Structure formats: C-alpha cells, structure tokens
Amino acid sequence: MTHQTRDAARVMFFPAPGLGGSQAPRPGVPVCMRSRWPSNLWIVRHGESAGNVARDLAHASGLGRIEIAQRDVDVPLSELGEEQARALGRWFAALPPGERPEVVLTSPYARAVRTAELVGEEGGLAHDAPTRCVDERLREREFGILDRLTSLGIRELHPEQAEMRALLGKFYHRPPGGESWADVILRLRSALDTLSLHHAERRVLIVGHQVVVLCLRYLLEGLSEQQILEIDAEGDVANCGVTEYRFEPGEGHDGALKLARYNFTAPLERAGAPVTSAPDAAVAAR
C-alpha cells in the first residue's frame, strides 16, 4: 500500500479568510471557485543521502553511533540519490509543459536542495519557473542529544529518553535540544499559510524530508495522531517518492485539495533507479 495510490482524501486545512494568492486570477475561473491553494502540489522526499548509507552501515555493524563527517544540514546525496533525483526530473519533464511545477520550495538541507537542482537540470520544471525558494521551515526534524545515534545507541547512552518515547509516543516525545512531530507540525502550519498567500493557483513542488511529507499530510488532510502514525507504520517514505494533491473546485465552499497519490515511486521504477526508503542517519527514533 505504501507505494500505491491511496484513496483520494479531501483537505480539511484551510487558510484564514482573506488570504488570497499574490498572482492575478487565472482567466476563465469563476470568482467563487478561485483557489486559495495551488492547483497542483507535489511533496517529494529528497534522494538517498550519504547519511542513509552510513546509517545502514552502523546498524549492520551493531554500532551505537552513526559516523558522518558533516553537519546533518550538509550531508550530500549519494550517487544513487543523484540517480533517483535525475529519474524524478525526467518524469516531470515528460509531462506537458503546462503541467510541470512552476514554483519550487525546498528544505535548506544540501540533500534536498540538490534533489531540486537535479529535477531542474533534467527539464522537470516549467520554462518560466522562478529560482527555487529555500525555506527553513521545511527542514528535517531536529533530534537534539539523540542526533546520530542508532536505536542501540539511544538505549545505551540515554535509556531515560527511550523510556520517555515509549511512554509519550513518537508524536509528542521531544528529546532534549530536539523536536517532536508536534513541533515540526507547528512550523509547517506557518509554511502552509505562506503557500496559500503567495502561491495560490500555481503548480508547486516541495522537496523535503520523510517527517515533512508525513506532517504535511497530517495538516492537509486533517488527520489525527492515530491516523498519521498508522500511515507511518505502513512503511518509510521512499527517497524521491511523490505525494501529490490536486485542487478540486467543486469541493466545499472554496474548493479543496485532494490527495491524488502517496509515496508514488513509478518515476524511479520506470527509469530503472533502485527504490530506497531507509530513514536518514539522525532518525533512529523518529
């Protein structure tokens, strides 16, 4: 189910009244049906990173700590990650020019920025697409004292945090110096307000991280803690997996975004690029 299209889900999250797009209304769209949301919204996890590879090695070796030289924000794509991003770019490029992303919003992390760059290099963006916008609200969840620890390392070095996470659950557990899922959702609420204010009726691509994909689903579909954790339990979000929403003008008073597909990996499979879905190096206790 993870890599298949899920049933369409109506968006329950709406911007405050009066928030319109900064662009002029598109011709032929009745005033009552003008959207406060993008016409299309793609949310993509970055390609496989060097951190994914290091994490797998640490787990295979039974290590408590993941060895990475860079800050998490600077961890680059692996060679496979670059191949995945290029395959995704070619998939977007195969769409008619008037259906490709016009606006690109990306996490400031190097692996997300590079994924967006490669999509553009492969012709996956509209010809008039502006320079991508880096938005720190789309960054990876911060793990504080648990950064770069495997599950084994957390149990050995911070057993009290393992106990607290088991008690509170991953949605609300906040490690010292880090963030809970609820904290990530708080900053993403602000990002969605900006999306509705500046990019209404546009085709928007967001490049972020696994937790960003899941938390945006939580917000856009009005899900509960239990519902989003059930989706998470189905399996990890694939590297360069596509989650897509489309605006439906006939839904509700002002129309609504509807989920078209989740964790869609056909762009990689068609190009022969291996599908990977391991969590990032810092997310042993995501």
Give pLDDT, residue 80.
Answer: 95
- The CATH number of the structural domain formed by 31-51+77-143+178-271 is 3.40.50.1240
Highest mean pLDDT among 21-25, 131-135, 263-267: 263-267
CA-angle at 196, arms to 221 and 36, nearest 5°: 85
pLDDT band (50, 70, 90) for residue 32: very low
Segment 116-164, tens digit of pLDDT: 999 999 999 998 766 679 999 999 999 999 998 988 999 999 999 999 9
Sign of CA dihedral 7, 13, 15, 16: positive
Q: Is residue 170 predicted with pLDDT exceeding 70?
A: yes
Secondary structure element (H or E) that encloses residue 261, with its range = strand 256-264
Global pTM reads 0.84
More confident residue, 67 or 242: 242
For the beta carbon of residue 241, count every other beta carbon within 10 angstroms.
27
Q: Is residue 165 predicted with pLDDT exceeding 80?
A: yes
Provide the 3-class DSSP secondary structure of residue 39.
coil
Provide the 3-class DSSP secondary structure of residue 65.
strand
Which of 2-16, 33-47, 178-192, 264-278 shows the lowest per-residue confidence on average (mean pLDDT)?
2-16
CA distances 80 to 44, 126, 225, 262, 271, Å, are: 16, 25, 33, 22, 12
Give pLDDT, residue 40.
Answer: 97
Return the DSSP state at 37: S
> Pairing state of beta strands 103-106 and 133-134?
parallel
First to last CA, the chain: 21
CB-CB contact of 81 with 47 (8 Å)? yes
CB-CB contact of 104 with 116 (8 Å)? yes
CA-angle at 70, arms to 79 and 87, nearest 5°: 25
Q: Is 29 left (phi over 0), alpha (psi -120 to 50) or beta?
A: beta
CA distance 221 to 245: 10
Give pLDDT, residue 150.
Answer: 87
CA distance 17 to 115: 34
CB-CB contact of 209 with 139 (8 Å)? yes
Q: What are the tokens at 169?
A: 């659950």
CA distance 96 to 141: 35
Provide the 3-class DSSP secondary structure of residue 100.
coil
Give pLDDT, residue 201.
Answer: 93
Q: Is residue 55 predicted with pLDDT exceeding 90?
A: no
Provide the 3-class DSSP secondary structure of residue 190.
helix
CB-count burial class (<10 Å; 0-12, 13-18, 19+) for 174: middle
Question: In the chain, what are the domain boundaries?
Answer: 31-51+77-143+178-271
Which of 61-70, 86-95, 111-120, 205-214 shows the lowest per-residue confidence on average (mean pLDDT)?
61-70
Helix (H), strand (E) counts: the chain: 9, 6
Token pair 């899941």: residue:
214
Give pLDDT, residue 12.
Answer: 35
What is the pLDDT averaged over residues 239-249? 95
CA-angle at 110, arms to 100 and 183, nearest 5°: 90
Q: Is residue 192 predicted with pLDDT exceeding 60?
A: yes
